[in-house]
């Protein structure tokens, strides 16, 4: 027991050290990081959710992490670093319930292999560095599985109650947690993993942990948030899905929409999890199947939680790699059991094959680790530098900024009264509205044109890079790693006086 605790402590420090080294490379926040950090500060000032209109989008997603961020940033000189370290520490702490999960159905050796995979995998490192809810969501999922496995082993209701509260925590981190809890309830009922009484205790605990938030959020925003997409509430991710079905009400169209997105997510898996880990996960699953019925049910739960993200997220327009991080977490549990899978081999041969698998596993991590190390130095620094310039020059006179990236507004901070995204302008153009009337209606003061995002995402505005309107007066130009950004002040026409003179 003491050796096991010592190994865990050493692994936790190893995971922390690796993440700290990677964090030192981070130069720019991600757009969603900017939202969560700034929303946290907004809530910490006592303002309501509905008042948050600084960024391109108002309310989106859940508020548990922003509330934590708001508390942390009150006493921090560097709010970005403080919030990122919250995520890092949650990522490291996940190692404890992760280890306990594997120990529920496998040996200590298996668990330590799985722990190593979790601690040093590029994907688990990357998503624990971001000041987003991924770390909180994943730790709640792992706690949910841990409590459920304990309930499976002991049959005691208290563990299923704790599992229900863990599921509520996952929902409070990311909205899809409610769909996961419902799917888990139904799956467990079908396969009879637990007694019905314990399953209803799980559901009751989830409701107790979630319903107060539902009613509070509805009071704040008018949204009954069961699903989410751009803050649309209960309509959520199904709005586009249903609208497509209405326009083309055929089963083939529905299937084509879903499976096209499913295929895109499926193609991501070999990129974020090398082939050797699929082999290890498969061999680990076979090894667990050879044990008793309790271990088989535990295997079923782990497979359910690893497969759920892949089947849920195709309901969205596209599947992103970060959404599949829970899949990788639970596959690592199985991969740990797959390392020593040579039951008929002698000790010497087993050690040889284990050594080969070890080299293959860590060798397959190397390209992803190197890529991750380099990627943090490839972000759009020109947006950050221009935002800081706007803050220095116009901090006491907030401006409405128009651009391609909301991080410009984030780094301009108090100098940014509101951000108007180019996506809004492109949508207005589709309805026949010209750019100048749109900018005037939005009250835009400054326009930022960049060569990184405008040609790629907003080609209809690309001509403005070479030929800006004469009413745009250039204020600042920055070049960064081959990319350029220019800030213009829009000299709005003075309206002519009306009347009889």
Question: For residue range 397-431, what is the model confidence (pLDDT) as tens digits?
Answer: 899 999 998 899 989 988 998 889 898 899 898 88
Which residues fall within 8 angstroms of residue 76, CB to CB, at 6 or more apart? 82
82 and 215 co-located in one domain: yes
Kindly state whether residue 500 falls inside one of the protein's structural domains.
Answer: no
pLDDT value of residue 315: 74
- The helix or strand, by DSSP H or E, that contains position 246, with its residue range, turns out to be helix 238-247
**Given 345, 375, 405, which residue is the final one in a domain?**
375
Please indicate whether residue 397 or residue 159 has the higher confidence score (pLDDT).
159
* Per-residue confidence band for 498, with pLDDT thresholds at 50, 70 and 90: low
- Pick from 203-207, 213-217, 227-231, 319-323: least confident: 227-231
352 and 478 co-located in one domain: no
353 and 429 co-located in one domain: no
**Given 357, 375, 393, which residue is the final one in a domain?**
375
424 and 295 co-located in one domain: no
Kindly state whether residue 319 falls inside one of the protein's structural domains.
Answer: yes
Kindly state whether residue 496 falls inside one of the protein's structural domains.
Answer: no
Kindly state whether residue 187 falls inside one of the protein's structural domains.
Answer: yes
Kindly state whether residue 497 falls inside one of the protein's structural domains.
Answer: no
Write the DSSP assignment of 89-157 as a string of letters.
HHHHHTHHHHHHHHHHHS-HHHHHHHHHHHHH-HHHHHHHHSSSTHHHHHHHHHHHHHHHHHHHHH--H
pLDDT value of residue 343: 47
318 and 439 co-located in one domain: no
Is residue 455 pLDDT above 60, yes or no?
yes
* Per-residue confidence band for 86, with pLDDT thresholds at 50, 70 and 90: very high
pLDDT value of residue 491: 80
**Given 314, 343, 375, which residue is the final one in a domain?**
375
pTM (predicted TM-score):
0.86
* Per-residue confidence band for 149, with pLDDT thresholds at 50, 70 and 90: very high
342 and 212 co-located in one domain: yes
Residue 114 lies in domain? 2-375
Kindly state whether residue 413 falls inside one of the protein's structural domains.
Answer: yes
Pull the structure tokens for residue 340.
């020593």
434 and 361 co-located in one domain: no
Is residue 260 pLDDT above 90, yes or no?
no
Question: How many domains, in total, are found in the chain?
Answer: 2
Cross-strand pairs, 416? 399
Cross-strand pairs, 480? 483
Query: Please, what sign has the CA dihedral across residues 86, 89, 95, 96?
Result: negative
92 and 228 co-located in one domain: yes
371 and 413 co-located in one domain: no
61 and 166 co-located in one domain: yes
Kindly state whether residue 301 falls inside one of the protein's structural domains.
Answer: yes
Is residue 189 pLDDT above 70, yes or no?
yes
Please indicate whether residue 377 or residue 173 has the higher confidence score (pLDDT).
173
């Amino acid at each position: 027991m003491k050796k096991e605790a010592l190994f865990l402590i050493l692994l936790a420090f190893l995971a922390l050290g690796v993440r700290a080294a990677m964090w030192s490379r981070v130069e720019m926040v991600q757009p969603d990081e900017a939202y969560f950090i700034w929303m946290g500060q907004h809530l910490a000032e006592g303002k309501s959710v509905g008042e948050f209109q600084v960024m391109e989008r108002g309310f989106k997603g859940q508020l548990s992490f922003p509330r934590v961020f708001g508390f942390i940033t009150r006493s921090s000189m560097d709010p970005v670093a403080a919030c990122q370290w919250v995520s890092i520490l949650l990522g490291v702490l996940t190692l404890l319930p992760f280890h306990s999960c594997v120990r529920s159905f496998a040996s200590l050796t298996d668990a330590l292999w799985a722990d190593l995979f979790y601690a040093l995998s590029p994907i688990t490192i990357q998503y624990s560095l971001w000041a987003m809810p991924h770390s909180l969501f994943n730790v709640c999922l792992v706690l949910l599985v841990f409590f459920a496995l304990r309930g499976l082993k002991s049959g005691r209701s208290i563990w299923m109650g704790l599992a229900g509260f863990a599921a509520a925590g996952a929902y409070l981190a990311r909205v899809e947690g409610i769909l996961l809890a419902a799917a888990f309830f139904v799956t467990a009922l079908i396969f009879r993993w637990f007694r019905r009484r314990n399953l209803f205790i799980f559901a009751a605990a989830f409701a107790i942990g979630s319903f107060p938030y539902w009613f509070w959020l509805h009071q704040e925003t008018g949204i009954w948030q069961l699903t989410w997409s751009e803050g649309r509430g209960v309509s959520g991710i199904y709005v586009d899905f249903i609208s497509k079905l209405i326009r083309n009400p055929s089963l083939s169209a529905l299937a084509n929409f879903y499976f096209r997105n499913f295929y895109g997510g499926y193609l991501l898996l070999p990129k974020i999890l090398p082939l050797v880990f699929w082999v290890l996960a498969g061999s680990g699953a076979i090894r667990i199947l050879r044990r008793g019925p309790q271990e088989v049910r535990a295997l079923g739960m782990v497979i359910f939680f690893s497969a759920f993200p892949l089947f849920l997220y195709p309901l969205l327009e596209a599947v992103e790699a970060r959404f599949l991080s829970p899949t990788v977490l639970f596959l690592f549990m199985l991969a740990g059991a797959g390392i020593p899978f040579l039951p008929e081999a002698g000790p010497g041969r087993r050690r040889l094959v284990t050594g080969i698998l070890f080299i293959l596993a860590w060798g397959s991590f190397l390209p992803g680790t190197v890529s991750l190390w380099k990627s943090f130095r490839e972000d759009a620094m020109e947006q950050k530098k221009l935002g800081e310039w706007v803050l220095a020059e116009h901090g006491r006179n907030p401006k409405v900024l128009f651009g391609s990236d909301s991080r410009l507004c984030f780094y301009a901070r108090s100098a940014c009264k509101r951000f108007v995204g180019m996506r809004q302008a492109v949508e207005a153009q589709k309805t026949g509205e010209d750019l100048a009337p749109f900018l005037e209606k939005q009250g835009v003061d400054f326009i930022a044109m960049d060569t990184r995002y405008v040609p790629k995402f907003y080609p209809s505005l690309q001509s403005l890079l070479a030929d800006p309107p004469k009413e745009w007066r250039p204020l600042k130009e920055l070049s960064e790693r081959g990319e350029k950004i220019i800030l213009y002040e829009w000299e709005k026409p003075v309206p002519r006086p009306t009347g009889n003179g």
